[in-house]
Structure 1
Amino acid sequence: EILFRQPESSRLGDCPICCLPLPIPCDVQKHNCSSSPVISMHCCSQVICKGCYYANRMREREQSLPTLCPYCRHPAPKTEEAWKEETEKRRMKRLEANDPVALQELGVDHYHDGDYGSSIKCWRKAAVLGDVVSHYQMSIMYREGKGVQKDMKKAIYHAEQAAIGGDPKARYNLGCEEMNNGRIQRAVRHHIIAASLGYEKSLEVL
């Protein structure tokens, strides 16, 4: 069964610089969450771990080097205003090209602004384009009834799509759902896969 096939890695994969598995970021729905352990470079859309990002920044400061993207080496804008302007231009270009990651990020912005309806529209479109994170976000929204009518059938569908794509948090939620329904063997299989992808909550459950 494709749902229980072990992914080679989590949806994030490995950091392209240190080649270690990228840490799993927390949910956008959690307002008390600390800063993400990964960072998406706006110049090249590459996701790297914060350890590599800060190591590069320290090296540049110590050696008085210009600030460059640690992955694509694109020069960083000189001022915060220029950085915001360049970031927005790149985002608009990606949105015009229907880039699913850009749509997912825009959905996150709408969510934090309290516009759940717009966030759902962005995530739904990105999910159709194959974005795993958007499937996971949709599963949470349908489960909690934010921006859409509460629908556990759709919540589970999107969680399954995200789990197949390598999202350990979606896999954890499916395991908890199966456990609540008394299907212990299926729950254990979900948690084993999530734990193997580095999700500590599933390891604790096991």
Structure 2
Amino acid sequence: MVRTRRGAVSWSAMLVGALAAGVTVVVAAVSSTSDTDPIVDFAGGGGLTAAEQHPITIVGATPAPGIPTGDFDRQGNPVLANCTTCHATRTANSVTRDGTQLNDFHQGLTTAHGELACVSCHNPDDYSQLRLASGEGIEFADSLRLCAQCHGPQFRDYENGAHGGMTGHWDLAVGPRVRNHCLACHDAHAPKYQQVMPVFAPREFHAHGSRTRAEGYE
């Protein structure tokens, strides 16, 4: 939950399922109690319901990790395959902050985020998720929550429109609003996260007549 000057707005309700599809997300602020309640977003709206106001577009969000399949869903968004669909994972190193000890993925990757280790933000029990300081796993679509837990002053400014390069209308009853996601301007990785390349053999499936690594691959 995120509290604004006039009430509470659920960011997860605003962003659900959207960020994982692409870099531009169109959302509408909704009340934390019901989507038929009057809007309590800081921009006002004159007591309009979500169906009666203009949308908020959040630009620059990073989608969940995955490999493009070349297919698109009914909304025209690219369909991604999770890396663990084909590849096994390894036990996470709880202290590493760079890729100097890695052999297959992310070689040379470091972080530019203080003394935080990789698993400070990434869920070591589920690589398709992020993790809050409380230990709660969250989807990449909720990454604003991850940023907000440490960057409170910046997020307070963001929710009140003073941070994030907002353009458009304060009053959503008048017109739409466009703003940047945290990751549109800030990246915890240095150099910037590179495209994932499949470099080691698929996991050892046995179903449907698949061969094991010892048996070789065609």
Q: Fold-level match, TM-score > 0.5? A: no
From the two aligned structures, give the one with the greater helix fraction.
Answer: 1
From the two aligned structures, give the one with the greater strand fraction.
Answer: 2
Rg: which structure is higher? 2
Higher RCO by CA contacts (8 Å cutoff, separation 6 or greater): 2
* TM range, smaller chain: under 0.3
